Structure 1
Amino acid sequence: MNEPTGSGSMMRILKWLDEHLEEYILVILSVFTVVVIFSQVVLRYIFSSSLPWSEEIARYAFIWMIYIGVSYGVKRQKHLSVDVITMLFERKGQIIINIISNILFLIFALVITYYGINIVGRITRESAALEIPMEYVYLALVVGMILTTVRLVQNIYSNFMDLKNGRNDEGLEGETS
């Protein structure tokens, strides 16, 4: 069965986004922050001048990195977890506990997304130095939690497939090398 050309390329794009979206955003924001801060240091100590907006833009980029980083941690299953209880169970019990914790985290992410959208909709001020709408800064929370929600749904689906297929050989969260 032949797929239309557009459909195949769309699937490749979606697969690439699924595998690399957070990584590229984090790298770009990290490089941007380093360049801005380095430029500020050079200007301040070598040329006795400074950029009035550098601290603000670096702070906002860092805020975006934090929320995108939450999604990346969930995607890689490297987010904070307490595994003392899961160590008491066999693999099937660990998967069930992992599903429950992911569902609870999913509920949290959805609630935060809901209230985040509400807050973003009510922000009317601009940043001091850059004079950009603060909605763009607060939007980091919403985007990060939406990406986290997607990653949590993927993890829950994967865990259900592991249960269904009876996979007992793979480790959870920090157990793989």
Structure 2
Amino acid sequence: MLNLTQVGGRYFFSTGFSWTEEVMRYSMIWLMMLGSVACIFRLEHMGIEALETLVRPRFVRFVKSGLYSVAGIFCVVILIYGYPLALRNAAQVAPASGIPMILPYAALPVGAVLMLVQIALSWLTGFEPDRPDEADGLSNGQGGAV
């Protein structure tokens, strides 16, 4: 919607709204960090699937554990550097939109913490996502329409 506002303002009114570009950029940062958490939850990271196919099925759990360990270390690094960075920029304000700069910078530590929580939960559940069709008995023919 913001992109449509930017393009419409540029072509229909011969002026662009400078704040829309900033808000879109900051929204994309948050979207990327929160989307990463969702990918960990759903076990949909592309690199993990690619490496899983290279090993025997009995070693898949070890590959996932190693990959999630590397991701966890990366999240800790993001948290260690991202949190002080967000605090240092708390007094700044975005020039066009007036958004306090702590909001875009806070996406890094917040996303890193949420990813760490999801990685820990993945380790505890054995890297197996809950499948709704298996939980209610639909996968073995016990259910469906009457």
Match status 1:108 vs 2:74: yes
1:108 aligned partner, one-letter code: F
CA distance in 1, matches of 2:45, 2:127: 19
Corresponding residue number in structure 1 for 2:4: 38
Query: Shift of the alpha carbon at 1:83?
Result: 5.4
SS state of the match for residue 53, structure 1? helix
CA RMSD of aligned residues (A): 2.3
Corresponding residue number in structure 2 for 1:52: 18
Conservation of the 8 A alpha-carbon contact between 1:44 and 1:50 = yes
Conservation of the 8 A alpha-carbon contact between 1:64 and 1:137 = yes
CA distance in 2, matches of 1:88, 1:39: 46
Conservation of the 8 A alpha-carbon contact between 2:20 and 2:97 = no
CA distance in 2, matches of 1:49, 1:160: 51
Corresponding residue number in structure 1 for 2:101: 134
Query: Shift of the alpha carbon at 1:47?
Result: 2.5
Query: Shift of the alpha carbon at 1:61?
Result: 0.8
CA distance in 1, matches of 2:43, 2:63: 14
Q: What percentage of residue pairs aligned between the two structures are identical?
A: 28
2:121 aligned partner, one-letter code: Q
Query: Shift of the alpha carbon at 1:160?
Result: 7.2
1:147 aligned partner, one-letter code: L
Query: Shift of the alpha carbon at 1:89?
Result: 3.8
CA distance in 2, matches of 1:140, 1:116: 9
1:49 aligned partner, one-letter code: T
Query: Shift of the alpha carbon at 1:52?
Result: 2.6
SS state of the match for residue 81, structure 1? helix
Query: Shift of the alpha carbon at 1:88?
Result: 5.0
Conservation of the 8 A alpha-carbon contact between 2:86 and 2:102 = yes
Residues 128-152 of structure 1: per-residue CA shift (max 9 Å, x gap): 1122221111111111111211211
Q: Unaligned regions of 5+ residues in structure 2, if any?
A: 129-146
CA distance in 1, matches of 2:26, 2:50: 36
Structure 1 stretches of 4+ with a deviation exceeding 3 A read: 82-90
Residues 99-133 of structure 1: per-residue CA shift (max 9 Å, x gap): 12212211221221122111111113221112222
Conservation of the 8 A alpha-carbon contact between 2:41 and 2:118 = yes
CA distance in 1, matches of 2:51, 2:13: 57
Corresponding residue number in structure 1 for 2:58: 92
1:138 aligned partner, one-letter code: Y
CA distance in 2, matches of 1:50, 1:101: 44
Corresponding residue number in structure 2 for 1:150: 117
Corresponding residue number in structure 2 for 1:29: none
Q: Unaligned regions of 5+ residues in structure 1, if any?
A: 1-34, 162-177
Conservation of the 8 A alpha-carbon contact between 1:103 and 1:156 = no
